[in-house]
Amino acid sequence: MIEEPASLGDAVVAERRLNMIEAINEALDIMLTRDPDVIIMGEDVGYFGGVFRATAGLQAKHGKNRVFDTPISECGIIGAAVGMGAYGLRPVPEIQFADYIYPGLDQLISEAARLRYRSAGDYIAPLTVRSPFGGGIFGGQTHSQSPEALFTHVAGLKTVIPATPYDAKGLLISAIEDNDPVIFFEPKRIYNGPFTGFYDKPVEPWKKHPDSVVPEGYYKIPLGKARHVREGEALTVIAYGTMVHVAQAVCEAKGVDADILDLRTLVPLDIKAIEASVEKTGRVLIVHEATRTSGFGAELSALVTERCFYHLEAPIERVTGFDTPYPHSLEWAYFPGPVRIGEAIDKLLKD
Amino acid sequence: MVDPAKPGQINRPALALHVPEPKYRPGDTADFSHIDIGTPGDQPRPDESAHPSEMGGLAYGLVRVLGDDHQAHGPWNPRLSPDTLRAMLGHMALVRAFDERMFRGQRQGKTSFYMKCTGEEATSIAPAMALASDDMVFPSYRQQGILIARGYPLIDMINQIYSNKADKLKGRQLPIMYSSREHSFFSISGNLATQCPQAVGWAMASAAKGDSRIAATWVGEGSTAEGDFHAACTFAAVYNAPVILNVVNNQWAISSFSGFAGAERTTFAARGLGYGIAALRVDGNDALACYAAAEWAANRARGNHGPTMIEYFTYRAEGHSTSDDPSGYRSAQEREEWPLGDPVSRLKKHLIAIGEWDEERHAAMDLECAERVKATTKEAEKNGILGHGLHHPFHTMFEDVYEELPWHLEEQAEQAIRERITKFGTERPFG
């Protein structure tokens, strides 16, 4: 079974702090070293090391047969990765922005996700598709989207979203070793620091955050297990990615004793952690940056209603992005920030 | 602003949209004399390391070996032994017998769907024989000839077509969407052209690992319009992938003639030239030419000289599938008038012409194929036919979605099994 290292609070060795990019780079380096079948490909990932530097230095270290640039064709990148998986490799393709993943959707949905099933186990697609997602960097409508619900709707795919450098490394290693296709969305707003949603305040670097302490070497965090960010009694917050930090900051600012869950994996979902928390608090706040209608929050809300209805003391609140394209100049009006989250908390706690 | 409701209001010529139209529709007299089929033996055979630009003419001509005299001609003659030729003829006859029987089985209600490859047998069987048995193939849906040539058991094909309890794919796939890792035969998708970039990726992996195996994929001329095909061409060219991109141009994509994939403008082989990929256009009803082209491309790939695109110029003699009726959109005479004849008949006449075959043996072979398919069908039917019984345990529906069942699929599997017991009690439905 998968084991996590001992609690970081007990670490007595010199603390080594990484930002999320460095943690991802290290996970890739470790897996390239451990498994000769791991290969990395994508637009600009080779010599240059990726537009966000996630693959910096990997081609020089592991060679061009293992880490290489690709044509600008997401269909080709995913399609070729499916073929490489059939050969026996363990490809880790990068899609430069989640907004660019759509030309590869048929290869992901109809091919990678279905291959084990349709061939009754003859062939598998052990891909890990890495892609930066989410807004908050003035990326406009084509560099800000959060399309995770498109993938959670697909039987056969797993969807993983880390919220800290420590988790990013451990989850990415698990994803690469997983024999099913994994969509690994990296919240690019928190690549360099744990954004709190107060965009008008100075940015905090990861160095000040406890979860930037990243052990050297190999470790993994199991897929399907949520992280208990904070124990509390007043309400349950269910979030993932950037919004974990935003929701936590708002709760702290308001002095709310929240029980905060960072899902880490959307599919398979840690339903037990959700049930346990809701049974304790009776109040549920679901937060995601993606558009509202048919977002993953709708699934979470339905699951909580189906499974924990008699524990609920207030209607579930969903805080999400609006059902519009991500606007460039009005980015912070779109973003589900402290005002929107604060109002939802007030509604949940008013009785 | 120009008012779109008033065309011609300004002094510019009106534009005209061209919507392609095939030459012949139902009731028309089909005449293919406009098609230049060249002369057998005329096309040069370049070195397998030739640069694509040195052999551009081969993307527009037609590589042919078998002449009207039934002899093999020219530099593309693969000089196969009589035994190999007889084996090739045997595979083609068996596929034809198999197609006949399975088509009839569908009409008798034993399965939902079937697709024949009549008239196109040479385009899968000859290349499969030219490849090594462990070269990886990524077929489309009309390449049953590859499985036959590689010795895949007939009964496994029929069990799959019937989705019965012995179906190795557990009844999950539409009939004929076979998969066999053991035979280096990739799982057939049904989403068109997705196999093309996958084949290129497999070939890239083989090259990256310093392996010696190559990949080949088949796609219909109609599906070359898909983006996947072009992604495959780009990747194959960029990485010099050891892959063969076979385009089976059988003139028809259900009811849409090849003009809807661009055939009015140029050949499909010429697509390869645009990517810098070596391209051959071949008489797809000439098994010797098909073999020679695939052998050339395989040697090229194995020698690290890169990918080849082969257009097999052929004709879909039957409907697209059991769900199609071609009499609704094309002339019934086309099949008879097709200028390149029938691939089985041409290979048979060649073997007879070189004194290695005769009508008696051929008739006996056909009979033996029909008997073998019939007997195997009866054997397969013991495992059940589609729609008569729910052949697979309900839990199998939830297996292989992931390597391990997550909690939500376990819950859904329990629900399915409860529903089964509610409907059928504890007995097996339909026995």
Q: pLDDT tens, A94-114?
A: 999 999 999 999 999 999 999
Report the candidate in A82, A72, A24, A69 with the shortest Cα–Cα distance to residue A42. A69
Peptide bond between residue A187 and the one before it cis (omega within 30 degrees of 0)? no
In this prediction, residue A11 carries a pLDDT of 47
> Which of residues A143, A167, A190 is at a domain's end?
A190
Contact B231 A110 (CB under 8 A): no
Question: Mean per-residue pLDDT for B154-179?
Answer: 97
Pairwise CA distance, residues A337 & B398, whole Å = 40
- Does residue B3 carry a pLDDT above 60? yes
The residue segments making up the domain with residue A303 are 224-349
Q: Are residues B132 and B249 in the same domain?
A: yes
Q: Are residues B259 and B195 in the same domain?
A: yes
> Which of residues A143, A174, A190 is at a domain's end?
A190
- pLDDT bucket at A7, cuts 50 / 70 / 90: low
In this prediction, residue B9 carries a pLDDT of 65
Q: Are residues B405 and B318 in the same domain?
A: no
Contact A110 B181 (CB under 8 A): no
- pLDDT bucket at B361, cuts 50 / 70 / 90: very high
Q: Which of B173, B177, B205 sits opposite A83 (nearest CB)?
A: B205
Q: Are residues B189 and B300 in the same domain?
A: yes
Q: Which of B181, B204, B228 sits opposite A84 (nearest CB)?
A: B204
Q: Are residues B77 and B192 in the same domain?
A: yes
Contact B198 A110 (CB under 8 A): no
The residue segments making up the domain with residue B354 are 52-323+338-381
In this prediction, residue B2 carries a pLDDT of 55
Active site residues of A: 143
Domain count, chain A: 2
Q: Are residues B414 and B279 in the same domain?
A: no
- Does residue B239 carry a pLDDT above 70? yes
The residue of chain A with its CA nearest to that of B134 is: A87
Q: Tell me the whole-structure pTM to 2 decimals.
A: 0.96
Pairwise CA distance, residues A181 & A92, whole Å = 10
- Does residue A214 carry a pLDDT above 80? yes
Q: Dihedral, CA atoms, B330, B309, B189, B95, nearest 10 degrees?
A: 60
The residue of chain B with its CA nearest to that of A110 is: B191
- Does residue B7 carry a pLDDT above 90? no
> Which of residues A141, A173, A190 is at a domain's end?
A190
In this prediction, residue B425 carries a pLDDT of 84
Give me the CATH number covering residue B310: 3.40.50.970
Is B32 contained in some domain? no
Q: Are residues B398 and B359 in the same domain?
A: no
- pLDDT bucket at B431, cuts 50 / 70 / 90: very low
CA angle (A292, A295, A300) in 5-degree steps: 115
> A118-170 pLDDT, tens per residue?
999 999 999 999 999 999 999 999 999 999 999 999 999 999 999 999 999 99
- pLDDT bucket at A8, cuts 50 / 70 / 90: low
Mean pLDDT of chain B: 96
Give me the CATH number covering residue A285: 3.40.50.920
In this prediction, residue B390 carries a pLDDT of 80
In this prediction, residue B1 carries a pLDDT of 55
Is B386 contained in some domain? no
Asked if the interface predicted TM-score (ipTM) of this complex is over 0.90, the answer is yes
Distance from the B293 Cα atom to the nearest Cα atom in chain A, whole angstroms: 24
> A298-351 pLDDT, tens per residue?
999 999 999 999 999 999 999 999 999 999 999 999 999 999 999 999 999 998
Distance from the B170 Cα atom to the nearest Cα atom in chain A, whole angstroms: 7
- In chain B, the percentage of residues whose pLDDT exceeds 90 is 94
Q: Are residues A254 and A308 in the same domain?
A: yes
Tokens representing residue A167 in the block: 């988790």
Q: Are residues A133 and A262 in the same domain?
A: no
Q: Are residues B342 and B419 in the same domain?
A: no
Q: Dihedral, CA atoms, B171, B177, B183, B186, nearest 10 degrees?
A: -110
Q: Are residues B238 and B343 in the same domain?
A: yes
Give per-residue burial for B71-104: e unless 16+ CB within 10 Å, then b. ebbbebbbebeeeebbebbbbbbbbbbbbebbbe
In this prediction, residue A14 carries a pLDDT of 66
Is A206 contained in some domain? no
Q: Are residues B147 and B290 in the same domain?
A: yes
Q: Are residues B399 and B355 in the same domain?
A: no
- pLDDT bucket at A6, cuts 50 / 70 / 90: low
In this prediction, residue A78 carries a pLDDT of 98
Q: Which of B205, B400, B406 sits opposite A121 (nearest CB)?
A: B400
Q: Are residues A18 and A157 in the same domain?
A: yes
Is B38 contained in some domain? no
Give me the CATH number covering residue A19: 3.40.50.970
* Chain A residues near residue B181 by CB distance under 8 angstroms: 119, 122-123
Contact B235 A267 (CB under 8 A): no
- pLDDT bucket at B183, cuts 50 / 70 / 90: very high
- Does residue B149 carry a pLDDT above 70? yes
Pairwise CA distance, residues B95 & B76, whole Å = 25
Contact A123 B232 (CB under 8 A): no
